[in-house]
Amino acid sequence: MSEQDSRTENPRDAGLTVEIVDGVLRISLGVNGLKYAAEHHDSFYLPWTDKWSLVINDPDKFAEEVCRQLQEEQEDGTTPVHTMLDKAIYEAVEQGAEGIDGDAMEALQETEKRELEGE
Residue 12 has a pLDDT of 95
Residues 63 and 111 both lie in one domain: no
Residues 29 and 61 both lie in one domain: yes
What's the domain count of the chain?
2
Indicate if the pLDDT at residue 3 is higher than 60: no
**Which residue range(s) make up the domain with 95?**
74-119
- Comparing CA positions, the residue from 27, 35, 24, 28 lying closest to residue 11 is 28
Indicate if the pLDDT at residue 83 is higher than 90: yes
Q: How confident is the model at residue 76 (pLDDT cuts 50, 70, 90)?
A: very high
Indicate if the pLDDT at residue 7 is higher than 90: no
- Region 31-45: what's the mean pLDDT? 95
